[in-house]
Amino acid sequence: MKKLLAVLKISFKNIFEYRINFLLGQLRQIILLFTLFYLWKNVFSQNSNLFGFNFREIITYVFLVQIIRSIALDTRTDGISDEIAGNGKFFSYLLRPIGYLKYWLTVDFAYKTVNIFFSFLWLFVAAKLLNINLFMQTNYLNLAFFVISVVFSTLIYFFIMSTTSLWAFWTPQVWGAKFALTLLLEFTSGAFFPLNILPTAFQHILNLTPFPYLVYFPASIYLGKVGFLGMISGILIQSMWVLIFYLLNRIIWQKGLRVYMASGG
Amino acid sequence: MQAVISVENLKKYYKAYEKEPGLKGSLNSIFHRKYKNVNAVDDISFKINEGELVGFIGPNGAGKTTTLKVLSGLLYPTAGKVRVLGHEPFKRERDFQKQFSLIISQKNQLWWDLPAIDSLILNKEIYEISDEKYKKTLDELVEILEVKDLLNMQVRKLSLGQRMKMELIAALIHSPKLLFLDEPTIGLDVVMQKRIRDFIKDYNQKYNSTIILTSHYMVDVKELCKRVVIIDKGKILYDGFLEKIVERFSLQRTINLEFDEQIEKNQLEEWGKIKSFDGFNASLEVKKDSTFRDIAGILEKLPVRDLTVEDPPIEDIIRMVFDRETK
């Protein structure tokens, strides 16, 4: 545990070493919030209710998505494939008594902590400037389930992306696959729009995949669109996906490491 | 005495993927790839005892680094038995990892955007070093390598030599008993090379640590290692004292002559190959086993003022050993 604490500390230092760069990157966030606001305002200028959302709910949804994204869908694990394909840094970890996956999960944790702080800050600033009255969930049960579902969503995404990065054991060119996957995930997770916009048949298929559980499910809990049973079963399905992707990650790690250690040079 | 490292019939073979040049080659390789078998290490055995400082020499691709990687647990052996500090390296047990270090010059474990001290603190926790021990080791290393002012500088701003020193500190902060150094002086200037060499020598003597060193620079090996292992194409050509290499492999000696009066070149030809000649001075290459007879003859027939006998430099002998293997 002390080891991971040290990793956490050095990751924070690394983030703040380039604070200007970091803050500029954050600027993107606030511009995005403004864009989303005016886009949906236009859509709702003709209708007061679309796909079971009123204007206030849809704005809350798209703003909330930015928060969930910055926690769950933001990961540094691209570094895994860079390190494996690159020369040197990767095996410095293999030489030292520390678990590689735990290490990366901790690095991610540092970034996510900073992200949470800033994404709430930008949300608050944008809501004030645009004079939006966001939907505030007051039911503690929903809030508690919301937090749990975001944590699970974070783990699912972490294991999916870090497992993808492990393909670098077989080929140094992983970015193409990762790019396609990221796009697919954003589209099918509800990061662009609420998934109930889609045809019902398509939604049924999506529900068999882990994707809607990344963004759409937590956001729906917050907005109170999921009943108690729905929350329970959703969380169970999430934990199943966490387990599946964790195991997949371990298997591919073991196999990849075998290939790596069997190769030369 | 129990050997720190024992390697029996180690083999490391792997397949390397070969691509024909150009776009056509790239397209072809999608459908059928050609693989080439590489025998990086081909049936080698050796033992190394505690406190030894052994040099591995050999040309690029000889199998030196591969051997070090197998010993460190980064590569599986294809065949053979390897025990290091009582462990099988490829299992990468924590207990084993805390006792050794591998330093490869292209490897960097330091965080580039942060001062080196932060990476050192990270390693302190990873290796579970106590505060006192950490402080003591760090102070010692910093003093020997003279880098006190550099610890708080961003790593990417350090020069190559400075960074190499920091990498050394990071690799030694857990006081490893066993050290694998792959080309530790590569890319450094002469002064820095000497510093690093002195440091390695010191580290070996002070802590009775076991060290394997690979190097292209014969100077490194000559200054540091009593025992050398010459490797080429995955095989050991020689394993023994450095001094004995000359005895074993060299077939020639050089006689340098200075004369009282000018002589003709053809007066020397009967004894051996003339390497240089200007009338008053000459260098002759003669067969090793006839050196004394040759000297006696020369002294008798020519007006010699001064004479020295030299063995060829170790570099030449090793080059010769490799050349012979290639043929």
d(CA B193, CA B101): 20
Cβ-based neighbour number of residue B18 at 10 Å: 11
A21 and chain B: CB distance < 8 Å anywhere? no
Query: B135-138 — which CB contacts under 8 Å span 24+ positions?
Result: B137/B172, B137/B173, B137/B174, B137/B175, B138/B169, B138/B173
Please answer yes or no on whether A6 and B125 come within 8 Å at the CB atom. yes
> Is B277 within 8 Å of B264 (Cβ atoms)?
no
Residue A88 has its nearest CB partner, among B94, B101, B107, at: B107
Q: Which spans in B127-250 are helix H?
A: 131-145, 160-172, 190-207, 218-224, 242-249
Q: How far is A235 from chain B (nearest CA, A)?
A: 35
Structure confidence by residue, pLDDT tens digits, A123-164 = 998 999 988 888 999 999 999 999 999 999 999 999 999 999
Name the least confident of A42-46, A183-187, B3-7, B156-160: A42-46
pLDDT digits (tens, 9 = 90+) for B120-145: 999 999 999 999 999 999 999 998 88
ipTM of the complex: 0.86
Per the CB < 8 Å rule, is B126 touching A98?
yes
Judge: B114–A91 Cβ closer than 8 Å, yes or no: no
Which positions 43-82 of A are in contact with B (Cβ < 8 Å)?
Answer: none
How far apart CA B282 and CA B271 sit, in angstroms, is: 12
Q: What is the pLDDT of residue B30?
A: 67
Distance, CA of B174 to CA of A97 (rounded, Å) = 11
Question: Alpha-carbon distance A66 to A218, whole Å?
Answer: 12
pLDDT digits (tens, 9 = 90+) for A52-105: 888 888 999 999 999 999 999 999 999 999 898 886 788 889 999 999 999 999
What is residue B200's predicted lDDT score, i.e. its pLDDT?
92
Strands B227-232 and B178-182: unpaired
Chain A residues inside the 8 Å CB shell of B119: 10
Sign of CA pseudo-dihedral A38, A40, A41, A45: positive
Question: What percent of chain B has a predicted confidence (pLDDT) above 90?
Answer: 48
Contacts of A2 in chain B (CB under 8 A): 125, 128
pLDDT reading at A264 higher than 70: no
Q: Give the C-alpha distances (Å, rounded to integers) separating B150 from A237, B31, B153, B157.
A: 52, 52, 5, 10
For B105-126, what is the mean pLDDT? 90
pLDDT digits (tens, 9 = 90+) for B204-229: 999 999 999 998 778 888 889 999 99
Side-chain-facing half-sphere of B80: CA atoms under 13 Å: 24
CA distance linking residue B82 with residue B67, whole number of Å:
10
Point out the residue among A98, A258, A261 whose CB comes nearest to the CB of B74: A261
A5: which chain B residues are within 8 Å (Cβ-Cβ)? 125
Distance CA B87, CA A238 (A): 41
Residue B136 has which token pair? 């003591």
**Which of A25-34, A108-117, B236-245 has the least mean pLDDT?**
A25-34
Q: pLDDT for B39-83, tens place per residue? A: 899 999 999 999 999 999 988 888 898 999 999 999 999 999 999
Q: What is the pLDDT of residue B1?
A: 59
What backbone phi and psi angles, to 5 degrees, belong to B80? 105, 170
Interface contact A13-B127, CB threshold 8 A: no
pTM exceeds 0.90? no
Q: How would you classify residue A145: left for phi > 0, otherwise alpha for psi between -120 and 50, otherwise beta?
A: alpha
Check pLDDT > 90 for residue B249.
no
What residues in A contact B123, CB-CB < 8 Å?
Answer: 96
Long-range residue pairs from A167-170, CB within 8 A, at least 24 positions apart, any chain? A167/A81, A167/A252, A167/A256, A168/A80, A168/A81, A168/A82, A168/A84, A168/A85, A169/A84, A169/A255, A169/A256, A169/A257, A169/A259, A169/A260, A170/A256, A170/A259
The tens digit of pLDDT for each residue in B200-210 reads 999 999 999 99
Q: Which residue of A has its CA nearest to B73?
A: A95
Residue B33 has pLDDT above 80, yes or no: no
